[in-house]
Every structure is written in structure tokens, then in C-alpha cells.
Chain A
Amino acid sequence: MAANGQANGKTGSHGQNIEFYAGHSRFEIELEFVQSLSNPYYLQHLASQKYLENEEFVAYLAYLQYFQDPKYLRYLQYPGPTLRALEMLQEERFRKEILIPAVVEAMVAEGFEAATAGLGR
């Protein structure tokens, strides 16, 4: 993956290379971020920092939905919880409710259950 954004013609508003940041490609960073969303405690942290109320952030979350495509899905190491969290984050109600600790704990419990359900489903 060419990390040289200037060669692709992709430059940000300040003329910098948006495909490459701090030694990693943009895809790499987005992949890491979307997977860390699967951790309910991280979501709680984001909510407490008021990120989930930022319009730009919400738009970015909507943009991240491209990971549902099999072409990008194959790079997810935690596919289940990641996609579930992504899906739920699209709804405003969830974004508000994730501030409630009980909801976070319920999500943790649900996550573990879903991951270990196996044939019990």
C-alpha cells in the first residue's frame, strides 16, 4: 500500500500527506481505531470525553462502516465485537446510553457471552 499520499494526489487542507501519519498508513490507524471500539470501556472513555457528541466524530464513525465489506473485514482480528459496536454507535440513543456504567457492564457481559456462546446460541 503506497504510503506516499502525495504521489496519489491525496493531500490534506494544509498540503500534508493524509495517507501517512506518524510512521503508519491511514488504513493501519483506522483499522486499529475501529477495533479498539469493540472494547466497551474504551467507548465509555470516549463518551466521557464528549467525543461521541462531536458531529465530525459521528460522521467519521459512519464513514468507518466500510469495514463491513469483506474486502476490509478480513483485516479485523476482533470481527464480532468490532462490527457490533460500530453498528450500535451509529444510533444516537446508544451514544448517549453508553455513558451509563450499567450499560457498559451489560455490554461487557453481552460481549463475553456472545464470544463464548458457541453452540449455546
Chain B
Amino acid sequence: MLSSFRASYQRVEQSLQRLTESIASYNPSATAADELLAADEAVSEILDQLVIHQSNHIRIEELRRQTEKLDETLKTTLQLLADTRKQIIAIPSSTPSDEPRRQVKAEDLLAYAKFISKTTVPPTFRKQPPPIKSENAQAQITNGIATPPLGAQDQDNAHTTGIENVGTKALSEVQRKMLDPNNRMGFSPWPSPIVIQNGALGEIQRMVENGQDPASVLTAEEQAELDRRNKEDEEREKLAQEEAERRRMSMFDTGAVRRGRRESVFNPDDL
């Protein structure tokens, strides 16, 4: 920049000097004047360039400052990230896979809860207002004492047919009095007589009453074995029968029988 300035200035000076020389020698040359003008223009051009140059310079400085600032920001952010990562790693980690296995697996427990859901209430169950219930319970116990003589008789009569009638009557009475029909509890905490009757024990009882011997009922395997043996026996019997038939036939065989029924008609020509 500076050199171009000097060059242009020199040019102006030169042209000016030439002009003044020419004027001093009473020979003004128009060319010298033109040259001076051109040189002056060149200078002004250079000045414009200078303005642009300076503004560029300022912009460069500004940009430099900006990059520096951004670099700083970047550095601090990275530092922060690194510190945070260190902190996170430093947290004592509780890995769930190392947790000692419980005694009962979760799935088994849930399956069991489903299993007994019909006959139990969850521990979060809340009772209806107690005062009314306890009154009913009191009344119930006195009623219970009054019913035994009848109950005992019925039980004796019902010995051969199980424990249905009295149990059901008394139980449903209790259920009716103690349980509010609108209450959720629609189950009984123990198997009712009907349930017991429909079970294996009831089945055995009925078999005994009908005269069947429950011990004579066979398993599927035993049944299959029995069937097989029966079939074998049948086959053997059939074979034996056939054998006997054949032997019988052969004993009384007159030749005619062997040849079939038709030949049994008396034919005098054969004699």
C-alpha cells in the first residue's frame, strides 16, 4: 500500500515538476498538464483504495477477535463436558444384574396370587364401617348356639350322604348376615360343602354308596394293560376254540364232512 502511494506521489511530483519546468521555459506543454491531471486522478484512486484497505483491516481485526472468543467458549464447554463425565463415572453404580436372587421367582409369585385370588382378599382391602358389622356378628353367634341341636340330628342322618344340608344352611345364613350383598367379598375363605362334594372325596363317597370299590378303578396305564391282556386272552381263546373245533372235526371225520355238506347226502354209488 505504502509503496503504491509513494509511486503515485512520485508520479504527481514528477509531472508537476515537468509542468513547472515547461512553464518556466515559456513552453507550456499541454501534455504535461494532462499528465498532471492523470497523476492526480491516480492519487485519488489510490486514496479510495486506502479507504477500502483500512476498512478491510478493521474487519480482519474484528474477525480475529471473534474467533478467539469462540475458541475460548469451545474450550470451556469441552472442559465442562469432561468434568461432568468424570463425575458421572465416579457415581457408585448399583448394577441390577448382581442383585441376589430372591427365594421365590416373581413369575411364580404372580401365578400363585392369581391362583388364590378367588379365595382371598388382597392386603389392601378395607372393611366396611365396623360398628354395624360387629353388631351383626354378635347376633350371629347367639343364633349359632341356638341351631346346634337341630344341626346335630341332621348331621347324624346325613352321615351317609356327606355334610351337605346343614353345612349349607348354616353357612349361607352366616354368609347372608355377615356379608353385605353389595360388598365385594363374594367368596368364602374355605371350600363350601358343594365344592367338597364335587371333588375327588365326594366322588369316592358316591362310589362307596353305589357299591363300587374305589380301589378297583385303574389308572390309564393299568387300564391299557388290562385291555391288552384281555385282548390276548380273547385271541388265545379263539385259537383254542378253533383248534378244538378242528380236532373234533378230525375225530369224527368220515371224509364226507371234509368234502363239504353237499356230499353228506347218501349216495349208494359210493359204497
Chain B residues in 8 Å Cβ range of A68: none
**Chain B proximity mask over A92-117: 1 for CB below 8 Å, otherwise 0:** 00000000011011101101101111
A22 to chain B, nearest CB (A): 3
**B112 adjacent to chain A (CB < 8 Å):** yes
**Other-chain contact of A118, B116, B127, B178, B219 (Cβ < 8 Å):** B127
**Chain B proximity mask over A48-92: 1 for CB below 8 Å, otherwise 0:** 110000000000000000000010001011111110000000000
**B37 adjacent to chain A (CB < 8 Å):** no
A21-B204, A49-B159, A77-B118 known; A116 vs B144 contact (CB < 8 Å) = no
CA distance A118 to B125 in the complex (A): 5
**Other-chain contact of A29, B126, B189, B200 (Cβ < 8 Å):** B200
Chain A residues in 8 Å Cβ range of B141: 102, 105-106, 109
A77-B116, A81-B189, A105-B144 known; A41 vs B152 contact (CB < 8 Å) = no
B54 to chain A, nearest CB (A): 87
Residues of A contacting B: mostly: helix
Structural contact, A115 and B200, CB atoms closer than 8 A: no
Structural contact, A36 and B204, CB atoms closer than 8 A: no
Structural contact, A78 and B145, CB atoms closer than 8 A: no
Chain A residues in 8 Å Cβ range of B119: 77-78
- Give residues of chain B (100-129) contacting chain A, Cβ–Cβ below 8 Å: 104, 108, 112, 115-116, 118-127
Q: A: which residues have CB within 8 A of B?
A: 3-4, 16-17, 20-24, 28-29, 32-33, 35-36, 38-42, 44-45, 48-49, 70, 74, 76-82, 101-102, 104-106, 108-109, 111-112, 114-120
Q: B: which residues have CB within 8 A of A?
A: 104, 108, 112, 115-116, 118-127, 130, 137, 140-141, 144-145, 147-148, 151-152, 155-156, 159, 163, 166-167, 170-171, 174, 178, 185, 189-193, 196, 199-201, 203-204, 207, 214-215, 217-222
**Complex A-B: 12 CB contacts under 8 Å:** A3-B221, A17-B219, A22-B207, A23-B217, A29-B200, A39-B196, A49-B159, A76-B116, A77-B116, A109-B178, A115-B121, A116-B125
